[in-house]
Structure 1
Amino acid sequence: MNKRFILPALTALAILAAIVVFCLLLVSHTQTDPMITLDSDWRTTINGTPYELIALKKLYHTYTSSLARGDHIVLSTTLPDIGDIPNPTILFRTRYTTLEVYIDQELIFEYGKDFYNANKFLGKMYHEIALPSRYAGRTLTFVMDVGENRAFSGLEPPILGSQADISGTFLHHSILILTTGITTFVFGFTFLCIALIFVSSVPEVISLLFGALSCMNLGVWLLTYYNFFSFLVYTDYETQIEYFTLYLIVPYCYVILYYLEDLQNDKLFKAIMYVSWGVPLAQYALHYLFNIHMYVTLPLYEISAVFGFGILLFFAYRTSKKKNVRTSSIVQLTGLLVFSVSVMTHLVLNLLGPIMYSYNTIFGRIVIAIGSIYYVLCHLSTYLIFITESYAKKQENISLSHLAYADGLTNLANRAKADSLMEELNNASDDYCILSIDLNGLKTVNDKFGHPTGDRYIKDFAKVLTNTFSDECFCARIGGDEFLVVMRDAATKDINALIDRMNSALNVMNALYTEYHRSVSTGFAFRHECKDGNSHKVYLLADQRMYERKRLMHEELGIKARF
């Protein structure tokens, strides 16, 4: 792996370790007071019909009909004495219902009545209900109005204990899902930042942006599906966020598969992908514009998920038969397949409902957590592989481009690069200056001392040239002893001072190294000196002035001109 990618990889692993440690520290809890689950001996009334001493988990055994909106449920039990506990609290999870809590006919808690009366969406939430200090032996009553058809077939039994023990124990027992949700979201956000950094230099990385967004979406769904927001950010809109993110899972999988399999020209797949995005958009429109709640349109997601899973299996099989498939594609497809299997398993457990209730709460969490973490790790691997390969390819192209446009001896721009710039200057509006430079005595040095010495003369001058003219100037070697400098916005520069500085540097070298004499002839011209601003004419004018100065210098020294 390229050294520049070791740091991002180690950083990603460090972030994962930090999140795990943070979550462990956050939810680390030692129970200090007694705590009890109130599952049995509930006196239940549904629409005026009494049912005696039932267990809430198995409510479907007693009430065999499906609940419908408007059904009225009353649950009551006698609170046991579990000792003198600080801040006695009841933890109870509602599922698409309102909630009124009474202690001996005294109302102590209320939730959802305004939503219910306005026919707004009532979701799932955990409620921490504070009890009076003297609670033992008193009657606890839950009154609920059902907000959705088939709202639930069983309820999680309430938990009685101190407020600190209830919150701490719940989060501690949910460490697997909590860590998975936070890790998935944070890694998705990290992937997104990495992709945005590289997208300008590696345009293909845009395909991985959707992978990052899908990880963030998955993390939010996990945290809202298991109602962690009830403890972190208590909001009435938690379940809406859950369904909003749930319905995006399938479309994101289609987009990832679209880029993964290079299906840009597959019209059928593109049509299916567009439909997959149209389904959640229609569900959102029905919810927010026509008050047809997202819970009602859940079967559309289930159908879309099953159909998408079949398509994914088809492409996974097709890819397995191909040869020379990129490693990054195999890794990402494997992660997508494992995640899809976990989602389908989770979906089946939910469809089985009360039959698999106890398995759904334990096995379902394990399956979805493993699938999500594997999905994230595959994305991490894909990022590192893809970016490493793409960056290496880009660097290779840059190297080849440099070889094509760089002078092999001096590493300055060559004549091809200079010609390209001259074409650009024809459209320039600034008053640029072109400086033509010719080395004096190069042929004599080659003849007397040999070509290696002549090459050293050229390289020494190239260093002087680049040191004299700032990075804003363009320097090129366009022939054996011919050099070119282009200065943009030349009105801000003292050209003669720069030439004097260059000559002074050559004189310093002559004083230090007396083997041969180093000097140059120069000539320069500005764009405004040529009426049409043609760069070639500006260069010819500068070159003409350079040769004129060389001729005068030769006359002064009594040297016969060679031009």
Structure 2
Amino acid sequence: MKFRSIQKTGIAFFFLALLFTGFFFLGYNDRITKSTPNFLQLTEGFTITKTDHSTTTAPLTSSGVGIIDEGETVSFSRTLEEFGFEHPCISYHSIRAIVNIYLDDKLIYTFGQNYYDTNTTVPNKINVVPLGEDYAGKELRIELTGTMRGSFSGLSPLQVGTRADLMTHRSLHFRASFFTGIFLFTLGLILLILSPYLFIYHNHDIRLLFSGLISLTLGTYMLCYYLIIDGLVCNPVLNTILEYGSLYNIPTAFMGYLMSVYTGKAKKIFTGLFITDVCLFLFSVALHFLHIRRFTSYTVFLHSISLSECVLVVVLIIYFYVTTRQEAEQKNMSSDNIFLVGIILFALCAFYDIVKYNYLVFFSSSGEAYAELNGTTVGSLILVSCLLVSYLFFNVFSTNYDSLQSRIANLAYTDPLTGLANRARCEQMMSMLSEEKGAYAIISLDLNKLKQVNDTLGHHEGDRLITGFATILSDCFWDANLIGRMGGDEFIVVMIEDRALNLTKRIHELYFLINEWNHKETKFSYSASYGYAYSYEVPHGSAQEVYMLADNRMYEMKREHQSKTEVTAHA
């Protein structure tokens, strides 16, 4: 009951934290927006010209230019007025296009032609171009040329301001996705670093590895989608490779995680989907490097596959949850619930972004330049949080379950009176020795006069005699591989490899300890008969045969000294 209370409290705290995060972004939105540096966004007054020389005058936000394919050109121009900025720059976000910017028909900036000429995918770019000091009254013309089929659609807004203000505004505008991407990227690296340790020491569990990959791919995709990697390292090609590489592998990481979580039929299904995603990624990379089809031209196909897999995964998870709900073992049920919530919420958020993106590309007059990852940002935070909480609960349940299993095993293989190994554990040990064929020695011991103590002093004193002798054995053979009670007054010690050397000396130490205990004991005396045997004495025999040899030698000693009252007198 106590754990259930902690569980409910943890889940409640988790969802309250998510709500707080959402209200934090919403509540401080106005305050952050007001602190945005001065800049101008130019959308009106442009003349838009396409390849067929058709000309329209429309806002950039609803230009209606449609999809621009390879070789097609669209340009937009307007006369610039005085903006009042010191060292003004214009900023324009181009998408897989060759960009030429003119001021009064004088080329002042170009981007993408060298990539296109070398058959390299032209990357997306935030083009920041200084206007100089005498720009007022001149005509600005920006010409965009498509570099592939479905290169881009629509026209991005044009912004004017100082370079620092333009970059600061962009960072503030996408602050939620920026910080979420940094968080997920960093968390993914940490989880990947920790995963080998947990794999080695936690039953080869790989779910943390795939949790790290999910977090890393989501974070990388967000940072690259908003060209943050390019802004940090000034390498647009690297930004493009990481963007599409992470986008292709987000479904792969998901399937890997599901493959590591589920068992049986579910595991086979998710393993098949994981292998399929890996093959699709490698196939697209091969086509790209063979110059058959570019890596960036599968966006619609990838969206279709992702949506299909997303729906399939949700249906399968719900199905497997319902079918296994009534089974006896439900140790992971609470973690499965949290994981299921995260998957469904992320799927809904990602579905919203994918649908919105394709609507902007194919049906809207605005175009894909206005597509953002708002849904994916929120969904990613929820999903990764659910993954971590789910993993936490899984570990708690697993730890409790493993502890219970360990206690059950201890009860099954431990003598309840002495705490030593019981007969079942001793026989298990001898079976293992027989299989491994290593060097070992077995000592068989018999506690003398147990029946006499039981008959004269009572079974309570007899139990004290047994437990005391068990303590003597534990103190003497502290480094033994096994100390066990075979039953009644019979005990066994197993020592492997180097520990089995010089047993005669160890027996003398045993008698020395027995004498010490006898000096303190007033009601009875400890004494024992023993016999030991080495594995090499029975070259092709089992450990059971070695034990029988040691046992026979013990009985020989017992018969030899049966007329004596104290075995310790012969130490």
Smaller-chain TM-score bracket: 0.7 to 0.9
Take 2:259 and 2:437, find their aligned partners in 1: how far apart are those partners? 45
Q: Does 1:36 align with 2:40?
A: yes
Q: Select the residue among 456, 461, 475 that pairs with 2:469.
A: 461
**Equivalent residue runs for 1:178-189 within 5 Å:** 178-189=178-189
**Equivalent residue runs for 1:462-477 within 5 Å:** 462-471=470-479, 473-477=481-485
Q: How far apart are 1:502 and its partner, in Å? A: 3.4
Q: How far apart are 1:116 and its partner, in Å? A: 0.5
Superposition RMSD on alpha carbons, in Å? 4.2
Q: Secondary structure of 1:290's partner? A: coil
Name the structure 1 match of 2:548: 540
Take 2:435 and 2:320, find their aligned partners in 1: how far apart are those partners? 50
Name the structure 1 match of 2:298: 297
Evaluate the alpha carbon distance shift between residue 463 and residue 166 of structure 1 in structure 2; reply closer, same or farther with a 3 A threshold: farther
Letter of the structure 2 residue corresponding to residue 67 of structure 1: I
Evaluate the alpha carbon distance shift between residue 203 and residue 133 of structure 1 in structure 2; reply closer, same or farther with a 3 A threshold: farther
Name the structure 2 match of 1:350: 357
Evaluate the alpha carbon distance shift between residue 169 and residue 419 of structure 1 in structure 2; reply closer, same or farther with a 3 A threshold: same
Evaluate the alpha carbon distance shift between residue 56 and residue 428 of structure 1 in structure 2; reply closer, same or farther with a 3 A threshold: same
**Is the CA contact 2:446–2:491 (under 8 Å) kept in the aligned structure 1?**
yes
**Is the CA contact 1:33–1:162 (under 8 Å) kept in the aligned structure 2?**
no
Q: How far apart are 1:438 and its partner, in Å? A: 2.4
Q: Secondary structure of 1:295's partner? A: helix
Q: How far apart are 1:538 and its partner, in Å? A: 2.7
Letter of the structure 1 residue corresponding to residue 39 of structure 2: M
Evaluate the alpha carbon distance shift between residue 308 and residue 82 of structure 1 in structure 2; reply closer, same or farther with a 3 A threshold: same
Bigger shift: residues 519-528 or 191-200: 191-200
Q: How far apart are 1:310 and its partner, in Å? A: 4.2
Name the structure 2 match of 1:151: 151
Q: TM-score, normalised by structure 1?
A: 0.80
Name the structure 2 match of 1:67: 68
**Is the CA contact 2:155–2:369 (under 8 Å) kept in the aligned structure 1?**
no
> How many matched pairs?
542
Take 2:545 and 2:159, find their aligned partners in 1: how far apart are those partners? 90
Q: Select the residue among 333, 340, 348 that pairs with 2:340.
A: 333
Q: Once the two structures are aligned, what percentage of the paired residues are identical? A: 27
Take 1:419 and 1:320, find their aligned partners in 2: how far apart are those partners? 42
Q: Does 1:237 align with 2:273?
A: no
Q: Select the residue among 435, 445, 454 that pairs with 2:453.
A: 445
**Equivalent residue runs for 1:215-254 within 5 Å:** 215-235=215-235, 236-253=237-254
Take 2:270 and 2:437, find their aligned partners in 1: how far apart are those partners? 49
What do residues 37-74 of structure 1 show as CA deviations (whole Å, max 9, x unaligned)? 343444555448485865433332xx45x322123455
Evaluate the alpha carbon distance shift between residue 511 and residue 472 of structure 1 in structure 2; reply closer, same or farther with a 3 A threshold: closer
Take 1:363 and 1:45, find their aligned partners in 2: how far apart are those partners? 23
**Equivalent residue runs for 1:44-443 within 5 Å:** 46-47=50-51, 49=53, 51=55, 55-60=59-64, 63=65, 66-74=67-75, 81-83=82-84, 85=86, 89-100=89-100, 110-129=110-129, 142-189=142-189, 196-199=196-199, 205-206=205-206, 209-235=209-235, 236-253=237-254, 264=265, 275=276, 277-312=278-313, 314-315=315-316, 318=319, 323-324=325-326, 326-353=333-360, 364-443=372-451
What do residues 128-169 of structure 1 show as CA deviations (whole Å, max 9, x unaligned)? 456657776776554543212232222333433344433333
Evaluate the alpha carbon distance shift between residue 289 and residue 466 of structure 1 in structure 2; reply closer, same or farther with a 3 A threshold: farther
**Is the CA contact 2:527–2:566 (under 8 Å) kept in the aligned structure 1?**
no
What do residues 413-434 of structure 1 show as CA deviations (whole Å, max 9, x unaligned)? 1122111222222244543222
**Is the CA contact 2:222–2:373 (under 8 Å) kept in the aligned structure 1?**
no
Evaluate the alpha carbon distance shift between residue 406 and residue 558 of structure 1 in structure 2; reply closer, same or farther with a 3 A threshold: closer
Letter of the structure 2 residue corresponding to residue 112 of structure 1: G
Take 2:391 and 2:201, find their aligned partners in 1: how far apart are those partners? 15
Take 2:390 and 2:403, find their aligned partners in 1: how far apart are those partners? 19
**Is the CA contact 2:260–2:267 (under 8 Å) kept in the aligned structure 1?**
no
Q: TM-score, normalised by structure 2?
A: 0.79
Which consecutive residues of structure 1, in runs of 5 or more, have no partner in the other structure? none
Take 2:167 and 2:513, find their aligned partners in 1: how far apart are those partners? 76
Which consecutive residues of structure 2, in runs of 5 or more, have no partner in the other structure? 26-31, 328-332
Name the structure 2 match of 1:510: 518
Take 1:358 and 1:46, find their aligned partners in 2: how far apart are those partners? 16
Q: Secondary structure of 1:426's partner? A: helix
**Is the CA contact 2:440–2:500 (under 8 Å) kept in the aligned structure 1?**
no
Evaluate the alpha carbon distance shift between residue 268 and residue 414 of structure 1 in structure 2; reply closer, same or farther with a 3 A threshold: closer
Take 1:349 and 1:275, find their aligned partners in 2: how far apart are those partners? 27
Take 1:337 and 1:477, find their aligned partners in 2: how far apart are those partners? 56
Take 2:543 and 2:38, find their aligned partners in 1: how far apart are those partners? 89
Q: How far apart are 1:526 and its partner, in Å? A: 2.0
Bigger shift: residues 513-522 or 228-237: 513-522
**Is the CA contact 1:422–1:535 (under 8 Å) kept in the aligned structure 2?**
yes
Q: How far apart are 1:329 and its partner, in Å? A: 2.8
